[in-house]
Amino acid sequence: MSAGQSSKVSTLWEIVHNPNRVIDGKELPFINVKHLVRIAVVDYWPHNLKEFSFLSKNRKWEWRFFLVVKGMGDRDGFLHNIEVAGSQAETLLKMKPQE
């Protein structure tokens, strides 16, 4: 979004239930769309932060955890689980996984 442009704030429910994610009765894992959304993290899993990283099959430490987010613009307080793993987790946490 460039200066002077405004964008509609999407609700979390609209993003998750986008009708364009279903083709011929099959739900796509994602669609390439940008959204502006307001969410709050309300919980995470695993609850023990030491378990956010794990030793993968190739004997390398990797991040994998889940965030439970609540849409701030949703009338019903819609909740959704988001998996955070690999390079996305490294970007979010600004650190490499370790034991």
What pLDDT, on the 0 to 100 scale, is given for residue 5? Answer: 53
The pTM is what? Answer: 0.74
Residue 13 Cα to chain centre, angstroms: 13
Mean pLDDT of the chain: 87
What pLDDT, on the 0 to 100 scale, is given for residue 24? Answer: 93
> Do the bridges between strand 9-10 and strand 36-37 make them parallel or antiparallel, or are there none, so unpaired?
parallel
What would the pLDDT profile of 27-72 be if each residue is shown by its tens digit?
888 889 888 988 999 999 999 988 999 999 999 999 999 999 998 8
Does the bond joining 19 to the residue before it have cis omega, within 30 degrees of 0? no
